[in-house]
Amino acid sequence: MAYRWETPASVWLEDDKSGQFELAASEGLSRIDWQGQARARLPDVAHLLGASLPSTCNCARIYPEGFAFCPTCGRALVKLAGQVKSQPDWWGPWSDQFVPRHVPHGLPVTSLALGDALEERPAAPFVGRFDASMPAPPNAQCVFAAGSYGFPTQRLLALAYTRNVLQYWDPLAQLWHLMAPEDFSVDLTFSRSAYGWLPVANPRRGEVALIPTDKGLCRLWINPVSETCRAEPVFDAVLASAPGAVRRHVACLFVSAAGTRMWTAHSDLSQVELLDCGAAPASGWMRPISYDGRLLWLHQMGQLLWQPGAPPQWLPWPRGFSPRLEFGGPTQSRDGRLWHIGHTGQEYSFIELGKDNPQSEAISGARLGFANFLFRRGHEVVNEPWEVENVEDLHEDDSLVLPLLRGFNNNRSQPSGLVLRFHKYTGRAEEALAGRTIPRTTVEWIGRRNVILDEIPRLSRPLECMPFVYQHCLWLHHPDWNQIRGWRLEELP
């Protein structure tokens, strides 16, 4: 015999003999396997749902949402409902929706005021150290999201998109859980191009994002109580690229018998249209960038441009121009035009993006960065992307700086952000980013004050460094490290 308790979001059963509560159903959650997994994770489940936990009695391990007193003995409970302060979401360095319009969206630019907290630390040349850590997820090649997915509190997910594994961080147990796919769920693997997902603006409970998979666009859902997930098909096709959003539209490239085509729809996924993309390639795309009302996908062979209401336009690069996509991404000139770095066989140059006959500006050496956060070796480039770098310290000629994340701040004239500095590196930038092991690297915040956050011996494949923000920390993950390094931030506004 069990009593049934109904809260606004859940149904609980109370065993009349043991006095224990069991979650029978909760809004948005698929079937709940309470006996199997949830027991070991009751504190996490209670926080996730906003339920109550015992404080001074042992009558039950968990109580329904809103319970303030134990129904058996009348003692006070820890009532978690309404206790959580909302924290900013994180959907990958390239996915901040709050960056202003005049900054390209889709590049590693964050609107979170990271600098205000990090610049409180001792300035360079003092070498700092990380002050928080968490184990790397078991499948370490992944993208991270910190969101609430319609629940009262935020949780961290790590999607290993090449291995069809979704991982969930239980912050109370300090453990990663693998979420088992539910019946008929679509495979989450996406391997043809750079990964990128589209977060949902007002998620229903358990709703994560619109995600690309090798077999189509899907809506990803989680059930963190039973530790399961499912992907619901939205558009079935072999996807060629990650999806992008511009104004009230979403779009994605896919492969058809007739060549590469584009799927587009309104943000609510209504009014689907399929458009031809000419000779655009079927894989190998960077994640899209939206700027000036257009979506832009970059590829080693050229660029694909799309403005809602017009046909997509495939523009191969000018003859002899080979882009250096790994150097970062598009950057802006003072007049707001977008440019990308590449090599012509003779020299490096920036060429204007989105134009049939682009203007080009020759430069004397490689420049790493994106979105006006650019470096020539150890020196910042502050004016036009092709202008002479700003040499503050001649010693920095011996180092090479790789920007990871720009912090966007309206009140600052000079860009600030998170970078890696390779010390005593005089080789080519291409080699540092590819296979070479760099003996000494520092993680630095460049801003009003430069702060050395940490030091990394023997780093290779630096482009796999993945910054994210979760639980008032800036974290840095690399698939080769067995722990993720974190630096505490003041409470973000």
Chain residues binding Zn ion by CB under 5 A are 57, 59, 70, 72-73
Q: How far apart are the first and last CA of the chain?
A: 48
Shortest separation between residue 50's beta carbon and Zn ion, angstroms: 20
Of 74 and 309, which has the nearer Cβ to Zn ion? 74
Shortest separation between residue 18's beta carbon and Zn ion, angstroms: 12
Nearest alpha carbon to residue 19 among 50, 55, 64: 64
Of 70 and 418, which has the nearer Cβ to Zn ion? 70
Rama region for 66: left / alpha / beta (φ>0; ψ in -120 to 50; rest)? left
Of 79 and 478, which has the nearer Cβ to Zn ion? 79
Shortest separation between residue 56's beta carbon and Zn ion, angstroms: 8
Structure tokens at 345: 């066989």
Of 61 and 458, which has the nearer Cβ to Zn ion? 61
Shortest separation between residue 59's beta carbon and Zn ion, angstroms: 3
Shortest separation between residue 64's beta carbon and Zn ion, angstroms: 14
Query: Strand (E) positions, 191-270?
Result: 198-199, 207-213, 216-223, 228-236, 238-239, 244-246, 249-256, 259-266
b/e code 453-482 from CB counts within 10 Å (16+ = b): bbebeebeebeebbbbbbbebbbbbbeebe
Contacts of 449 (CB under 8 A, 6+ apart): 119, 123, 124
Shortest separation between residue 172's beta carbon and Zn ion, angstroms: 21
Q: How many CA atoms lie within 13 A of 440 on its CB side?
A: 8
Contacts of 32 (CB under 8 A, 6+ apart): 23, 24, 25, 26, 38, 223, 225, 226
Of 52 and 441, which has the nearer Cβ to Zn ion? 52
Shortest separation between residue 71's beta carbon and Zn ion, angstroms: 8
Of 54 and 233, which has the nearer Cβ to Zn ion? 54
**Which of the 8 DSSP states describes residue 390?**
B
Of 53 and 404, which has the nearer Cβ to Zn ion? 53
Separation of alpha carbons 460 and 434, rounded Å: 8
Amino acid identity of residue 452, one-letter, is I
